[in-house]
């Protein structure tokens, strides 16, 4: 078989080769059957600038259509000398077939402008493909370091290129609040900015000591949602509460337990948390109402991770809440609070999505859990009857260092090599069939304490995100040698797309 077909990432289910090749030419037409028009528009825009092939509507070149007999996200891609035929179980399936088509063309077809006149040839073959998991996610932390909208859109494009379908957007944290909320102006005036301080380091934490900030307007967020939707990616927003809230408390001290300081300038976990009184709950409901208006997906993230109870031990409002609700102590405040948020989301037809800490004391029924603290919480979540997204830090935290080489630019976390990420399986050993069915899929998390630019995000995310894509798209039996053999040709695609990935030979001397 030829190189593009044998270097696809993620690896398709089944490929059969035949004789001849299809040649994309200036006159090649594209016909889109009902339900595939949007995908055809996207493919035209994706291929036009670099190939000069405008793919005008018409018969006889590339044809897209829906086929209800195919799996929802599955596709059949038939490349013959006379034409290309993409059939999908849904528009998403057709979109994945079209993404595969992009990978099959010479890498120059992926550039933003024409540097080659072709020929744009694809050897004849047939691919039958479908994903293993419904949730193929990636988290982007835009709270620790704000990323301009254009960088977020580019990241979405790269995720879609690897057939991922969820962007978990971490929008708020101790170190910054990144969304405009009508009626709460101090969130963007105060909570979105942090000032210089805390130069130096503590343990492996390195502080950059730089002022930093930024936020997304409502129109920015709507653009992100629409751009992602056009690439069959659902954006799952997260507003982290009741911990990781220092930025909001800096803006509105009445939400806290007496803390009157600034937006946090150190990494790590703040002990300044929400006071979970009526005013704080009203604030959270107002923020979630706005988030529900902007993000149409069913799941809304409320975070829930790493919430120290230190302040709740002495806070009058926490004590009042504990006695009014008949709770056994401060440790029962977070589950009580999470249950109120779940009720509020349910009243708006949405479901709560939270980190595995929400399992402590019982997560609200119907909540979807992001299991991050190693492998055990995935099992815990399904045994408690919850759907779960597996994102164990020890397997898929892309902020973690890629080798033990002292030259790695972000030497944090445990070492997580390309091979380690490739070996990830979202379903832990020992689950029954019905338990395993609750594992929606997996997610790679890009935390950005140490990634202050799109370039640094590229470096941490690639090529490990390519390996991750295969763990959630492909079957459980995987072969790292085969993946490694396909990777160089795929890196040529990333070069054409302008991705600043980590070279396979070792770290860059930064």
- For ligand TNX, give the closer residue by CB, 67 or 208: 208
Residues 6+ apart with CB under 8 A from 41: none
* Residues numbered 448-477 forming contacts with ligand TNX, rule: CB under 6 A: 449
CB of 355 to ligand TNX, least distance (A): 4
- For ligand TNX, give the closer residue by CB, 207 or 447: 447
177 is a contact residue toward ligand TNX (CB under 6 A) = no
* Residues numbered 303-332 forming contacts with ligand TNX, rule: CB under 6 A: 305-306
- For ligand TNX, give the closer residue by CB, 332 or 449: 449
- Among 173, 311, 356, 449, the one annotated catalytic: 173
- For ligand TNX, give the closer residue by CB, 372 or 483: 372
CB of 86 to ligand TNX, least distance (A): 38
Instruction: State whether residue 103 is helix, strand or coil.
Output: helix
CB of 444 to ligand TNX, least distance (A): 12
437 phi and psi angles, rounded to 5 deg: -65, -20
CB of 135 to ligand TNX, least distance (A): 17
Is 282 an annotated catalytic residue?
no
The Cα 293–Cα 221 span in angstroms is 11
- For ligand TNX, give the closer residue by CB, 103 or 192: 192
* Residues numbered 257-296 forming contacts with ligand TNX, rule: CB under 6 A: none
355 is a contact residue toward ligand TNX (CB under 6 A) = yes
CB of 303 to ligand TNX, least distance (A): 7
- Among 168, 244, 290, 490, the one annotated catalytic: 244
H or E segment and range at residue 388:
strand 388-390
Q: How crowded is residue 54: how many other Cβ atoms within 10 Å of its Cβ?
A: 13
- For ligand TNX, give the closer residue by CB, 317 or 387: 387
Q: Residue 475's closest CA among 234, 138, 167, 129? A: 129
DSSP string, 124-162: EEEEEE--S-SEEEEEEETTTS---HHHHHHHHHHHHHT
425 is a contact residue toward ligand TNX (CB under 6 A) = no
The Cα 242–Cα 161 span in angstroms is 35
Is 244 an annotated catalytic residue?
yes
CB of 238 to ligand TNX, least distance (A): 9
Number of shown-chain residues binding ligand TNX (CB under 6 A)? 9
Is 85 an annotated catalytic residue?
no
Cis peptide preceding 282, ω within 30 of 0: no
The Cα 355–Cα 32 span in angstroms is 41
CA distances to 79, 177, 365, 489 from 104, rounded to whole Å, are: 10, 41, 45, 11
Q: How crowded is residue 323: how many other Cβ atoms within 10 Å of its Cβ?
A: 9
Is the CA virtual torsion 79, 80, 84, 90 positive or negative?
Answer: negative
- For ligand TNX, give the closer residue by CB, 143 or 487: 143
- For ligand TNX, give the closer residue by CB, 92 or 398: 398
Beta bridge partners of 66: 88
CA distances to 124, 171, 175, 487, 506 from 143, rounded to whole Å, are: 46, 5, 7, 32, 29
* Residues numbered 383-412 forming contacts with ligand TNX, rule: CB under 6 A: 397, 399
The Cα 233–Cα 66 span in angstroms is 19
372 is a contact residue toward ligand TNX (CB under 6 A) = yes
CB of 459 to ligand TNX, least distance (A): 16
CB of 152 to ligand TNX, least distance (A): 18
DSSP string, 373-386: SSSHHHHHHHHTT-
Residues 6+ apart with CB under 8 A from 387: 368, 369, 381, 438, 439, 440
353 is a contact residue toward ligand TNX (CB under 6 A) = no
- Among 289, 306, 420, 495, the one annotated catalytic: 306
CB distance 461 to 446 below 8 Å: yes
Residue from 135, 146, 447, 459 in contact with ligand TNX (CB under 6 A): 447
Query: Which residues are at the interface with ligand TNX (CB under 6 A)?
Result: 305-306, 355, 372, 397, 399, 413, 447, 449
Query: What is the set of active-site residues?
Result: 173, 244, 306
């Amino acid at each position: 078989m030829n190189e593009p077909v044998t270097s696809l990432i993620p690896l398709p289910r089944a490929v059969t080769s035949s004789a001849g090749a299809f040649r994309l030419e200036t006159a090649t037409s594209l016909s889109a059957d009902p339900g595939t028009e949007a995908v055809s528009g996207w493919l035209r825009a994706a291929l036009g600038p670099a190939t000069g092939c405008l793919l005008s509507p018409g018969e006889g070149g590339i044809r897209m259509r829906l086929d209800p007999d195919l799996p929802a996200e599955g596709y059949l891609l038939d490349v013959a000398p006379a034409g290309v035929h993409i059939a999908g179980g849904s528009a998403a399936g057709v979109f994945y077939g079209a993404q595969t088509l992009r990978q099959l063309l010479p890498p120059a077809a992926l550039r933003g402008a024409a540097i080659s006149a072709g020929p744009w040839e694809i050897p004849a073959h047939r691919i039958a493909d479908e994903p293993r998991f419904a949730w193929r996610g990636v988290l982007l932390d835009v709270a620790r370091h704000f990323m301009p909208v254009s960088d977020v859109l580019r990241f979405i494009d790269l995720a879609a290129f690897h057939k991922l379908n969820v962007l978990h957007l971490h929008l708020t944290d101790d170190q910054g609040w990144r969304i405009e909320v009508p009626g709460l102006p101090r969130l963007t005036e105060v909570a979105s900015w942090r000032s210089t301080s805390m130069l130096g380091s503590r343990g492996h934490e390195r502080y950059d000591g730089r002022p930093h900030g930024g936020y997304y307007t409502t129109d920015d967020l709507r653009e992100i949602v629409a751009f992602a939707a056009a690439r069959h990616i659902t954006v799952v927003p997260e507003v982290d509460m009741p911990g990781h809230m220092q930025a909001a408390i800096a803006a509105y001290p009445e939400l806290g337990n007496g803390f009157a300081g600034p937006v946090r300038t150190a990494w790590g976990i703040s002990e300044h948390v929400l006071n979970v009184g009526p005013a704080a709950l009203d604030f959270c409901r107002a923020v979630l109402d706005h988030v529900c208006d902007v993000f149409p997906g069913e799941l809304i993230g409320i975070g829930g991770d790493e919430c120290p109870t230190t302040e709740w031990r002495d806070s009058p409002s926490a004590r009042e809440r504990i006695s009014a609700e008949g709770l056994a102590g401060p440790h029962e405040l977070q589950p009580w609070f999470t249950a109120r948020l779940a009720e509020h989301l349910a009243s708006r037809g949405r479901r709560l999505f939270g980190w595995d800490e929400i399992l402590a004391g019982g997560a609200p029924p119907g909540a979807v859990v992001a299991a991050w603290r190693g492998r055990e919480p995935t099992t815990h979540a399904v045994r408690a009857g919850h759907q779960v997204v597996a994102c164990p830090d020890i397997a898929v935290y892309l902020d973690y260092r890629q080798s033990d080489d002292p030259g790695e630019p972000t030497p944090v976390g445990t070492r997580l090599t390309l091979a380690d990420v490739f070996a990830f399986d979202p379903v832990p050993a020992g689950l029954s069939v019905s338990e395993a069915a609750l594992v929606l899929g997996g997610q790679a998390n890009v935390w950005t304490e140490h990634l202050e630019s799109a370039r640094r995000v590229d470096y941490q995310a690639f090529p490990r995100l390519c390996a991750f894509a295969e763990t959630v798209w492909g079957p459980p039996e995987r072969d790292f040698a085969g993946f490694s053999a396909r990777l160089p040709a795929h890196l040529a695609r990333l070069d054409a797309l302008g991705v600043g990935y980590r070279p396979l030979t070792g770290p860059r001397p930064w």
